Amino acid sequence: MSYDLIVIGSGPGGYVCAIKAAQLGLKVAVVEKRATYGGTCLNIGCIPSKALLHASEMFEEVGHLDALGIKVAKPKLDLPGMLAHKSATVKSNVDGVAYLFKKNKIDGHIGTGSIAAPGKVVVTKEDGSTTTLETKAIVIATGSDSAPLPGVPIDEKRIVTSTGALELDKVPAKLIVVGAGVIGLELGSVWRRLGAEVTVVEFLDRILPGMDGEVTKQFQRMLEKQGFTFKLGTKVTAVDTSGKTLKVTVEPAKAGEAAAETLEADVVLVAIGRRPFTEGLGLEAVGVALDERKRVKVDGHYQTNVPGIYAIGDVIAGPMLAHKAEDEGVALAEILAGQAGHVNYDAIPGVVYTSPEVATVGKTEEELKAAGIAYKVGKFPFSANGRARAMLATDGFVKILSDATTDRLLGAHIVGKGAGEMIHEAVVLMEFAGSAEDLGRSTHAHPTMSESIKEAALAAWSKPIHM
Ligand code: FAD
Ligand code: NAI
């Protein structure tokens, strides 16, 4: 069989690239080693985690309706039912990708893909049989997997990665999360809401490194109010699995400080980052170069050092986010079809789907300071927003950063209910190189949480009205 394009990996990068290329008239095949399409995101990442985040948030909210004048009996957890909701959500999404492949006449090959040579992909099925496919272009979209923690062996039952944490058949009495990143805080939230006592051990002296420090500081206080315990500047050095409960040895991250202590846990979630996945692709043999962090090296058009072999998504540099992978998939398909594909890396939003949510786009204040860029800050708290008061959702604020000289929007950071939806008006504005004045002069419907974005923009450009 001969193709214009073979995509190895069917995650958000791979499946979107395949669909877009097929829409542009290319003959496309996808090789996927998992039994279902959709990659990490649809099978064991974005989608199942959001199903559990939503369900657990509802479970917790139902218990706190008194303040709205609603009396309900204490809710009871049906964990198998909640996990069934998660599985059904995953199934409908992965089935959706299979349907889209059919609709766009994309050939799906289930098996492990390896690159024998430019233009040649070998698919090895589970039974060991192989098929060789020929193609003009190959896209590596093999994603990432969880980074291991030395001395802490994963069994996906008691010591788990995110994959095991989406499958626990019982709420752990005590959960220790290693890493205060996105996975740790999202999945830590799920199990805390369902009844676990959650302690987060983080190597650095802050949570969510890379996000705006003022936002994450306030967010940390909110999480502590919810019951999270944080041990910052701390590392896990060993986990003793011999007893009924796990004994977790933690030490200050900086040597020479106080002595080690032992924490007890029923489950330990290791969430210290993800690493690019290139195993079994045969990259060394074909000479595809990797960078210092074992990511596939690409040029501005996603081509590796070997002509005809391209890469996108988590396996290359940049934020490990589904929408970044998707947009790279579209851009590359356009390039392969002779068009001008492009991704604006300055306007990729990031959302932490906790309660409240944290959402960010563009530069943080720390980044602007480090780059020596003169900027203005506009902030507006949800406590001054009418809709937030009506919904008892006054926690959090919006922070707008704009260029001190040109007023161009440089960054937007929100912690608050619905932040993940609200951030997109800043994304679109940045895409069009808009200013804080543009945002502040745009009419926002009243009463909405989004009015706080307008007010924060007004605060950056001139003065807010409601503060
Ligand atoms: P992947 O989705 O990892 O897909 C790669 C695919 O390639 C896999 O299906 C794999 O089986 C296949 N593969 C690998 N090697 C081969 C081979 N040799 N042959 C054939 N197939 C192969 N991002 C967000 O933006 N929002 C979120 O809410 C979010 N939540 C997440 C929650 C969790 C718990 C996790 C773990 C991740 C989350 N992410 C989220 C990150 C997101 O999942 C990734 O950024 C995204 O999946 C990357 O897409 P990708 O296409 O590069 O790779
Ligand atoms: P992360 O990079 O977000 O966070 C890892 C955290 O672990 C960091 O705070 C880091 O300082 C800490 N850490 C590293 N080594 C440590 C150690 N030895 N001991 C203690 N702490 C340590 O990684 P995470 O949470 O595993 O997520 C992986 C990727 O998945 C992220 O890049 C993220 O973008 C993506 N993801 C995105 C989501 C979203 O967009 N909502 C949700 C979940 C994952």
Domain of 378, CATH number, reads 3.30.390.30
The best mutation among 187, 230, 272 to test binding of ligand 2, ranked by most ligand atoms within 8 Å of the C-beta, falls on 272
Do the domain assignments include residue 455? yes
Domain termination residue (choose one: 343, 371, 399)? 343
**pLDDT score for 233:** 97
Is-cis flag, bond preceding 319, omega within 30?
no
Ligand with minimal distance to 109 CA: 1
Instruction: Give the pLDDT score at 347.
Output: 98
**Nearby residues of 103 by Cβ (< 8 Å), 6 or more positions away:** none
Q: Is the CB of 270 under 6 A from ligand 1?
A: no
Domain boundary among 219, 245, 272: 272
Q: What is the distance between the alpha carbons of residues 39 and 33, in angstroms, rounded to a whole number?
A: 9
The predicted structure's pLDDT at residue 275: 98
Asked whether residue 179 falls in the same domain as residue 236, the answer is yes
Which tokens go with 21?
A: 């290329």
Question: Distance, CA 286 to ligand 2 centroid (Å)?
Answer: 32
Residue-level pLDDT at 254: 86
- Whether residue 265 lies inside any domain: the answer is yes
What ipTM did this prediction achieve? 0.99
CA distance 422 to 445: 13
Asked if residue 140 and residue 10 are part of one domain, the reply reads: yes
Ligand 1: does its nearest atom lie under 6 Å from the Cβ of 34? Answer: yes
User: Residue 14 sits in a domain of what CATH number?
Assistant: 3.50.50.60
- Edge-to-edge strand ranges of the sheet holding 174-178: 159-160, 267-270, 174-178, 197-201, 229-231
357 Cβ inside 6 Å of ligand 2: no
**Residues 42, 100: one domain?**
yes
Write the DSSP symbol of residue 73. P
Question: Of 64, 342, 446, 466, which is the active-site residue?
Answer: 446
Does residue 432 lie within any of the structural domains? yes
Query: Which ligand is located closest to the Cα atom of residue 12?
Result: 1
pLDDT at 465: 96
Q: Is the CB of 190 under 6 A from ligand 2?
A: no
* Residue 94: per-residue pLDDT: 98
d(CA 264, CA 247): 5
The predicted pLDDT at position 257 comes to 59
188 lies in which domain range?
Answer: 159-272
Q: Which atom of ligand 2 is nearest to the CA of 208?
A: 9
Residues 193 and 251 in one domain: yes
Asked about 301 being catalytic, the answer comes back as no
| Tally of domains in the chain | 3
Q: Which residues are annotated as a binding site for FAD?
A: 50, 113, 142-144, 314, 320-323
Rounded to 5 degrees, φ, ψ at 341 are -80, 145
β-pairing, 112-117 vs 120-124, is: antiparallel
- Among residues 428, 212, 415, which one has the least CA distance to residue 439? 428
pLDDT in the model for residue 256: 63
Same-domain pairing of 222 and 299: no
Establish if 248 belongs to a structural domain.
yes
**181 and 117 part of one domain:** no
Instruction: Give the integer Cα–Cα distance in Å for 50 and 73.
Output: 26
What is the 3-class SS of 374-392, one letter each residue? Answer: CEEEEEEEHHHCHHHHHCC
Q: Which atom of ligand 1 is nearest to the CA of 315?
A: 52
In a domain, 154, yes or no: no
Q: Which residues in the chain show pLDDT less than 70?
A: 256-258
The pLDDT score that the predictor gives to residue 259 is 80
pTM over 0.95: yes
7 and 141 share one domain: yes
Rg (CA), the chain: 24
Q: From the CB of residue 227, how many other CB atoms can be counted at a distance below 10 Å?
A: 11
Residues 232-279: tens digit of each pLDDT: 999 999 999 999 999 999 999 987 656 899 999 999 999 999 999 999
Is 387 touching ligand 2 by the criterion CB < 6 Å?
no
- CA angle, 360 then 361 then 363, to 5°: 105
Query: Quick one: 268 and 229 in the same domain?
Result: yes
Which of 257, 272, 287 lies at the terminal end of a domain, its last residue? 272
Mutate to test the pocket of ligand 1, among 30, 33, 36, 40 (most ligand atoms within 8 A of CB): 40
How does strand 174-178 pair with strand 159-160?
A: unpaired
Query: Is residue 466 situated within a structural domain?
Result: no
Q: Taking Cα atoms as reference points, which of 40, 15, 16 lies closest to residue 327?
A: 16
Same-domain pairing of 190 and 139: no
* Cα–ligand 1 centroid distance for 14 (angstroms): 9
Q: Does any ligand 2 atom lie closer than 6 A to the CB of residue 204?
A: yes
| Beta-strand relationship, 397-403 and 409-416 | antiparallel
How would you classify the pairing of strands 375-381 and 159-160?
Answer: unpaired
What's the gap in Å between 301 CA and the centre of ligand 1? Answer: 21
Q: Are residues 140 and 7 located together in one domain of the fold?
A: yes
Q: Which H helix or E strand runs over 262?
A: strand 261-265
Percent of the chain with pLDDT over 90: 98
Contacts of 88 (CB under 8 A, 6+ apart): none
Nearest to 295 by CA among 307, 282, 309, 313: 313
Q: Among all ligands shown, which has an atom nearest to the Cα of 110?
A: 1
The reply to whether 140 and 286 lie within a common domain is: yes
Report the separation in Å between the CA atom of 272 and the middle of ligand 2, taken as the mean of its atom positions: 5
Q: Are residues 111 and 60 in the same domain?
A: yes
